[in-house]
Amino acid sequence: MKVEELAAKFTPTEVLKTDTQTKSVVILGTVDGENAICSLEKTAFSISEVGDALLSKLVDGIQLINDNDVYLWSMAALVQDLEKSPGAKVNFIHPASETHIRKYRSQAHHWVAETPEVYRKIVRPFIDTQKGDRIQWVYNILFKGKESETFIHHDTDPQDGYVLLPDMKWDRSTLEALYLVTIVNRTDISSVRDIDGSHVDFLMRVRDNIKQVVSEKYLVAEDQLRLFVHYQPSYYHFHIHVVNINHPGLGAGINAGKAILLDDVIDNVRMVYDYYQRRTMYYQLGGNHKLWEKLEELKELCC
């Protein structure tokens, strides 16, 4: 079906998500009786040099709202052109499955206090169900050369080695938005909960090595890299996120309550050997997350 026809036939049934920060919206609808998802996101200003910043090239009509002293607020209509400066990206998924819909529907997040006991009773057993086939794709990368054409660095040592490769979220060219991921070869660390003082040397070697490799390859200074892990991570094989500290927007992925600095991990287990076994871990968790369901069941059992 042509995109013009798809857009004309699209009948909205539910607004799945609106984001006032990124100026985007995701709409569920139907096309010929089948579910379809349409997401719209406004385009960024395309200004690469000062000549592009002439207001007559950007604005087509302007109207005062208010002013005070040296400050003045107004609203404007924008210059746009479907070929050269379109106003929005518009993506469709058609037909859309229930999984697609669940993925895009807004979910309330909850604040979790995971004590060592909750970890042992609920989270660890949950993690065990997320291994095997579910992380086969990780083993394919590490041990079967999958995606090897994208590897930035590959150290095959089974204990200390790792693969460094671009994250899916990176366009592989905008240096300011640099986003890489390091997947370690060793298979015995599911998450930061498994890290203790015995890993200090390993983590420091990996950290220093990543910083050196990345700063040499991408001309980003070592002190402009931010290295962190997630808890909960999206897959339970130890990996480290590597981003430019000036990255303009990482969303929830860099939030305190989701991201933990690798530097903090190392220093914490240097100070207290079993820090991550003893600590209550605090984090945000989406209401759609399978682990949230398990934690809710526990609450009902105990309170």
Contact 36/93 with Cβ under 8 angstroms? yes
Which is catalytic among the residues 94, 109, 199, 239? 239
Report the site for a second copy in 244-273 (rule: CB under 8 A).
245-246, 248-251, 254-261, 263-264, 267, 271-272
Report DSSP state, residue 280: P
Give the count of residues interacting with a second copy (CB under 8 A): 103
- Which residues share a beta bridge with 139? none
Report DSSP state, residue 298: H
Q: Does 224 bind a second copy (CB under 8 A)?
A: yes
Q: Which one, 201 or 267, has the nearer CB to a second copy?
A: 267
Q: Does 291 bind a second copy (CB under 8 A)?
A: no
Q: Does 160 bind a second copy (CB under 8 A)?
A: no
Closest CA to 84 of 41, 39, 46: 46
Q: Identify whether 95 is preceded by a cis peptide bond (ω within 30 of 0).
A: yes
User: What H or E segment, with its residue span, contains residue 128?
Assistant: helix 124-129
Report DSSP state, residue 149: G
CB of 141 to a second copy, least distance (A): 22
Distance between CA atoms of 26 and 18, rounded to whole angstroms? 6
Report the site for a second copy in 6-35 (rule: CB under 8 A).
6-8, 10, 12-15, 18-25, 27, 29
x/- mask, a second copy, residues 169-188, rule CB under 8 A, reads: --------x-----------
CB of 63 to a second copy, least distance (A): 6
Q: First-to-last CA distance in the chain?
A: 54
| 239 is an active site residue | yes
Report the site for a second copy in 105-144 (rule: CB under 8 A).
108-113
CB of 247 to a second copy, least distance (A): 9
Distance between CA atoms of 143 and 139, rounded to whole angstroms? 6
Among 74, 136, 150, 156, binds a second copy (CB under 8 A): 74
Closest CA to 191 of 159, 233, 227, 132: 233
- Binding site residue list: 137, 147, 167, 169, 230-241
**Residues tagged in the binding site annotation for substrate:** 137, 147, 167, 169, 230-241
- The catalytic residues are 239
